[in-house]
Amino acid sequence: MAVVPLPELDKLAHDLARERHGSYSERALGRAYEEYLARRRTPLGPFRLGADGREFSTFYDLVADPTAGAESMELRLDPVPPPGAAWEFLRPFSRIRFAADGSADVFPIGEGDPTRVIARFLLREHYLPRTQAEEDRAAGGGPRVALPTTLRSWQEGVAACRTRGLLPFSVAILLYFPDERISYELDLVRSLLLSDLRAGRLAAPRRVPRSSRLSWRVDRAVGRGDIPLLAARALTVLVESQGLTAVEMTHVFGGVRETVDSALQGLATRGFASFDRRTGTYRARLDAFAPPPLAPDGSPTAPSGGSNPALRTSVQELIAAADARASCPLCGDPLPPGTRGILCPRCAAEVNAG
């Protein structure tokens, strides 16, 4: 397992960020790099990257070439891990080919036709060069050097690295299938696909599959970048469950229980989760990721379920299940996120044209 050395990342930061990556930023990059290497995850297998018919040894080599990745990109597992327990909570694949429009083809292991999906690029751990003056200004309450807070296609993510000098250490590839969203995390420093954090630590039946529509809403909230990494990961696990205690979540994430409990309390404070004191269970508030329905007078209605967390969660489960089955009565295709009408846009256009 080859590790991209710090001098290589330092040189790339100098080439991309130029004067913003001075001695202060060099030291900060070194600290962030060492801290990242100290945190190890279970690898599923190594990967290789290709772009426009060429192959690159690392993600950073691809970023360093300003002409690469304009038309297409491909992530290929080499060797391909066999199906089995290592893929728990994930869908096995051999390679993924990303198109410039944000879609992707997921190729199964062995023979079989690829599945067309929507793919997005979500930052996990990263370093963004900044000067000491910028850091001092932020420490005094001024604006921080920040990245645009949106989910991006792979091509847009690579472009952001080149224009802002961003150095991702790990990223999540979010693949929106017709029935659910699957998140694959990549260790870019070691060129490894990582196993799901829950694999071997949480019983698979505890996972509740969610619709791609609901997951998209959750991912957009996480993609704003204002939720700490541990809390963001905990939120995703909570959403895909009927509720978990701090002890169970600590078993999933490892570390000190107080740290995990603090992250969960932060989610509750922000309204993303509820806490049942009788059972010690945290539950995701699914209604936090969708606009509330409107009353006849146009004002938002109160959330269903009152103050009972278990009852409110049950109501939210029904709403999520109905949302997952929302489809056009004419063609049967799933209705896109945010659709308020009965028909999908294509059928609505045809009806109006008629």
Any idea which of 102-111, 276-285, 324-333 has the lowest mean pLDDT? 324-333
Work out how many domains the chain is built from and give that number.
2
Last residue in a domain, options 170, 196, 222: 196
Domain final residue pick, 196, 226, 242: 196
Share of the chain above pLDDT 90, in %: 51
Quick check: 186 and 192 in contact, CB under 8 A?
yes
Q: Which of 148, 174, 196 is the last residue of a domain?
A: 196
SS3 sequence, 45-91? EEEEEEECCEEECCHHHHHHCCCCCCCEEEEEECCCCCCCHHHCCCC
Under 8 Å between Cβ of 81 and 43:
no
CB 97 within 8 A of CB 107: yes
Q: How confident is the model at residue 306 (pLDDT cuts 50, 70, 90)?
A: very low
- Burial of 46 per CB tally in 10 Å (0-12, 13-18, 19+): middle
- Considering the domain architecture, whether residues 51 and 88 belong to the same structural domain is answered as yes
Q: Are residues 258 and 298 in the same domain?
A: yes
Residues 32 and 8 in one domain: yes
The 10 Å Cβ neighbour count of residue 44 is 20
85 shares a domain with 41: yes
272 and 139 co-located in one domain: no
CATH of the domain at 282: 1.10.10.10
Copy the structure tokens of residue 151: 């989910």
* pTM > 0.85: no
Contact present, 281 and 244 (Cβ < 8 Å): yes
Which tops the pLDDT comparison, 72 or 240?
240
Q: Are residues 27 and 121 in the same domain?
A: yes
Does 164 share its domain with 213?
A: no
| Residues of the domain holding 148 | 1-196
In terms of domains, do 278 and 190 share one?
Answer: no
User: Are both 9 and 141 inside the same structural domain?
Assistant: yes
Together in a domain, 18 and 88: yes
Q: How confident is the model at residue 353 (pLDDT cuts 50, 70, 90)?
A: low
